[in-house]
């Protein structure tokens, strides 16, 4: 059994206060493994963030000058910061690079990197100079990996090949890793859901306050999507599908609720104006995980017509909040979405088909109730963070 005398060295391209799939996973697992200490190395990004913060069993070391460029320098900067921790408690800032590379006996037996990107690069360099330290790589990538540039794919391949143990959040990512590392054991350990948080019940008054604030009127059917406003999530297709829904199925009284921020926001706002649905689309911005269940509870269907997806944790959160979901048959979504059983599939890049599926879920009460029941049972059975954390404990213990 691991204890706080044995620390996990962890590399991640982003962490507090930035929240994404990897960052959330690290937090949820660490707080459930309170008897294990995690030394977390991450880029600093901004001068407002402290170079070191201590949160119980999570010790955060931020490296870089506090600029956005910190991300691109992280493979080297993260490696050097790890070597500083690795060598001794009495390391002097003025010590030359040659001393950094020589090192001494390690207090780490395990290092863990999230994603085969910049954090994975720092772990790769550390492994080169410290081959005795076991390297766990967790693949969380949500982009279409086959369509990325040559150098990104080359870099990711060498990181995957260097890992001693690999976990992937979906079978899609497991299959991808198997193409480059056939010797290492690769296990699927998905991201989870805070079941207690997303299955909460709220009073009519609490939900009415949220609906009133958003301008949602009684009787309106709400279609919600929880995602970053970036091309891979297909929000442009959702807006086009919403336009088709309002044109073809005029009997439905609907609103589209979009939570999240991202590079496409201005483009998407303009699209709603071009299609004449601006007054029926709500851009709610980023919503905290504590508040998000209320937004789901005032909605009728969750939709994300993704172009690529590593897993899709937002789907799982909606499912445990008693919502039917609609998604594309792509990436890790197929691990949990079974058509007409735990959700509905829509075709990729097809707004007309998406509108048909939204109409079906909003009008077929029997199908909707069946999907909600099956989906919630699946998430509780397979995607509880408590279960996921214990799988990582077992992995750490077995090394």
Q: Residue 285: inside a domain, yes or no?
A: yes
Q: Please state, in angstroms and rounded to a whole number, the distance separating the CA atoms of residues 384 and 158.
A: 32
Beta strands in 115-172 (DSSP E): 134-139, 165-168
- Nearest Cα neighbor of 172 from 142, 135, 201, 208 is 142
Q: Is-contact 355 249, C-beta < 8 A? A: yes
Same domain assignment for residues 167 and 256: no
The CATH number for 335's domain is 3.40.50.2000
Q: Residue 1: inside a domain, yes or no?
A: no
Mean pLDDT of all residues in 35-51: 94
Same domain assignment for residues 268 and 253: yes
Q: Residue 2: inside a domain, yes or no?
A: no
Write down the pLDDT at residue 277.
96
The confidence band for 94, taking pLDDT boundaries of 50, 70 and 90, is very low
Same domain assignment for residues 221 and 323: yes
Same domain assignment for residues 185 and 231: no
Residue 92 has pLDDT above 50, yes or no: no
- Considering the chain, what is the average pLDDT of its residues? 91
Per cent of the chain over pLDDT 90 is: 82
Q: Is-contact 296 317, C-beta < 8 A? A: yes
Mean pLDDT of all residues in 21-34: 93
Mean pLDDT of all residues in 302-316: 95
Q: Please state, in angstroms and rounded to a whole number, the distance separating the CA atoms of residues 242 and 352.
A: 9
Residue 377 has pLDDT above 60, yes or no: yes
Q: Residue 57: inside a domain, yes or no?
A: yes
Same domain assignment for residues 155 and 19: yes
Same domain assignment for residues 177 and 166: yes
Q: Residue 343: inside a domain, yes or no?
A: yes
Per cent of the chain over pLDDT 70 is: 94
Write down the pLDDT at residue 102.
44
Q: Please state, in angstroms and rounded to a whole number, the distance separating the CA atoms of residues 177 and 156.
A: 10
Write down the pLDDT at residue 151.
81
Same domain assignment for residues 144 and 223: no
Same domain assignment for residues 299 and 393: no
Q: Residue 203: inside a domain, yes or no?
A: yes
The two tokens of residue 126 are: 């550390």
Residue 238 vs residue 147, higher pLDDT: 238
Residue 329 has pLDDT above 70, yes or no: yes
The two tokens of residue 214 are: 């958003």
Question: Phi then psi for 360, rounded to 5 degrees?
Answer: -60, -45
Residue 153 has pLDDT above 70, yes or no: yes
Q: Is-contact 13 113, C-beta < 8 A? A: no
Same domain assignment for residues 155 and 215: no
The confidence band for 27, taking pLDDT boundaries of 50, 70 and 90, is very high
Same domain assignment for residues 108 and 22: yes
Residue 195 has pLDDT above 50, yes or no: yes
Q: Please state, in angstroms and rounded to a whole number, the distance separating the CA atoms of residues 247 and 224.
A: 19
Q: Residue 114: inside a domain, yes or no?
A: yes
Same domain assignment for residues 112 and 203: no
**Counting beta carbons within 10 angstroms of the beta carbon of residue 82, is it exposed (0 to 12), middle (13 to 18) or buried (19 or more)?**
buried
**Domain containing 309: what range?**
195-382
Q: Is-contact 380 345, C-beta < 8 A? A: no
Write down the pLDDT at residue 219.
92
Same domain assignment for residues 389 and 367: no
Residue 131 vs residue 147, higher pLDDT: 131
Per-residue model confidence as pLDDT tens digits over 103-142 = 443 478 999 999 999 999 999 999 999 999 999 999 998 7
Model pTM greater than 0.85?
yes
Q: Please state, in angstroms and rounded to a whole number, the distance separating the CA atoms of residues 107 and 233.
A: 41
Write down the pLDDT at residue 5.
56
Per-residue model confidence as pLDDT tens digits over 62-83 = 999 989 899 999 999 999 999 9
Per-residue model confidence as pLDDT tens digits over 251-290 = 789 999 999 999 999 999 999 999 999 999 999 999 988 9
Residues found in the chain: 399
Mean pLDDT of all residues in 22-51: 94
Residue 101 vs residue 171, higher pLDDT: 171
Give the number of domains in the chain.
Answer: 2
């Amino acid at each position: 059994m691991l204890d706080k005398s044995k620390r996990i060295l962890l590399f991640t391209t982003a962490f507090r206060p930035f929240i994404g799939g990897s960052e959330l996973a690290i937090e949820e697992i660490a707080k459930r493994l309170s008897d294990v200490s995690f030394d977390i190395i991450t880029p600093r990004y901004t001068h407002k963030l402290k170079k070191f913060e201590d949160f119980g069993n999570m010790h955060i070391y931020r490296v870089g000058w506090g600029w956005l460029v910190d991300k691109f320098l992280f493979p080297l900067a993260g490696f050097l910061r790890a070597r500083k921790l690795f060598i001794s408690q009495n390391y002097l800032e003025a010590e030359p690079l040659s001393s950094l590379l020589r090192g001494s006996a390690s207090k780490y037996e395990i290092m863990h990197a999230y994603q085969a990107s910049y954090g994975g690069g720092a772990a790769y360099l550390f492994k080169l100079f410290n081959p005795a330290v076991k390297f766990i790589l967790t693949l969380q990538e949500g982009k279409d990996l086959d369509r990325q540039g040559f150098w990104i794919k080359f870099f990711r391949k060498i990181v995957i090949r260097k890992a001693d143990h690999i976990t992937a959040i979906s079978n899609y990512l497991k299959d991808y890793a198997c193409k480059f590392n056939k010797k290492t054991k690769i296990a699927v350990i998905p991201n989870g859901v805070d079941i207690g948080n997303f299955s909460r019940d709220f009073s009519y008054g609490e939900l009415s306050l949220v609906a009133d604030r958003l301008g949602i009127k009684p009787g309106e059917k709400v279609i919600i999507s929880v995602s970053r406003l970036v091309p891979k999530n297909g929000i442009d297709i959702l807006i086009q599908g919403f336009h088709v829904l309002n044109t073809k199925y005029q009997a439905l009284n609907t609103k589209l609720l979009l939570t999240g921020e991202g590079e496409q926001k201005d483009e998407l706002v303009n699209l709603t104006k071009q299609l004449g649905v601006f007054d029926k689309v709500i851009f709610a911005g980023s919503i905290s995980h504590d508040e998000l269940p209320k937004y789901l509870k005032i909605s009728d269907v969750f939709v994300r017509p993704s172009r690529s997806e590593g897993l899709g944790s937002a789907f799982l959160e909606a499912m445990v909040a008693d919502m039917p979901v609609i998604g594309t048959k792509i990436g890790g979504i197929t691990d949990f979405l079974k058509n007409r059983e735990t959700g509905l599939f829509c075709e990729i890049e097809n707004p007309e088909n998406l509108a048909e599926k939204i109409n079906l879920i909003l009008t077929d009460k029997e199908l909707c109730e069946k999907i909600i029941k099956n989906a919630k049972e699946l998430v509780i059975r397979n995607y509880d963070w408590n279960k996921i954390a214990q799988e990582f404990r077992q992995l750490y213990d077995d090394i």
